[in-house]
Structure 1
Amino acid sequence: MSNTRRIYDAEFKRNAVMLAEEPGRTVADVAESLGIGPDLIYRWGREMRGQGLIAFPGHGKPALTDEQRRIKELEKKLRDAEIERDILKKALAIFSKAPN
């Protein structure tokens, strides 16, 4: 058996969970028909119930709401502005020294 890791897109995960939640279907049946383990469907279901529409952002990205994403963006801009301010303070101190 190969050790290659398979990657599933968010739509596939949502559809797998929705299929498993249909009446008359079991997680094991859905997992077998999709060629995946039932533990994946259980985990994806937990993620969907916990995070709702922002579940499965992909590639290690944190699942953030629009407001949280905006806050992170503003925090980064603030850090950049503080760094620029500190550089300008140092430059002012260097240039304002009286020549010896």
Structure 2
Amino acid sequence: MPGRTHRREFKLDIVNQVENGQKTTAQLSREHHLSPSLIHRWRKEVEARGDAAFTDQARPDQALEHRIAELERFCGQLSLENTILKKSLSTYRSKQGTK
């Protein structure tokens, strides 16, 4: 079912049940109305991040992407300011020449 959010404990419980062989992915999918691909994604998350899985801490890749986006915005702002200053300077110089 799209749009549902699940608590961290629930996700870990589902993954642990699959990992321990208590239930299959198909059984848990039917019981909890979850997509099997979602359960597989949760398993990969636990494999990749261990205890940090499903926490709000940004992944290192996400932190770097966020920093790059921030720097790109700053670079764009500086470029815009530079263009405005160049136009202002050329306008000022042209007015100085007409006096």
Band of TM-score, shorter chain: 0.5 to 0.7
Structure 2 residue identity aligned to 1:33: E
TM-score using structure 1 length: 0.61
Among all aligned residue pairs of Structure 1 and Structure 2, give the percentage whose two residues are the same amino acid: 22
Unaligned runs of 5+ in 2: none
Q: Which runs of 5+ in 1 are unaligned?
A: 58-62
CA distance in 2, matches of 1:8, 1:37: 13
Match in the other structure for 2:78: 81
Label 1:38 to 1:54 Cα distance change in 2 as closer, same or farther (>3 A). Answer: closer
Distance in 2 between residues matched to 1:54 and 1:70, nearest whole Å = 22
Segments ≥4 residues shifted beyond 6 Å: none
Q: What secondary structure is seen at the aligned counterpart in 1 of 2:98?
A: coil
Report the TM-score when normalising by structure 2: 0.61
Q: Deviation at 1:30? A: 1.3
Q: Which has the higher helix share?
A: 2
Change (3 A) 1:68 1:99: same
1:25-40 correspondence runs (5 A): 25-40=23-38
What is the CA deviation profile of residues 54-87 of structure 1, one whole-angstrom value per residue up to 9, with x for unaligned ones?
87x8xxxxx9432222122112111111111111
RMSD of aligned alpha carbons: 3.4
| Structure with larger Rg | 2
Determine the C-alpha separation between the residues in 1 that align with 2:10 and 2:87.
Answer: 52
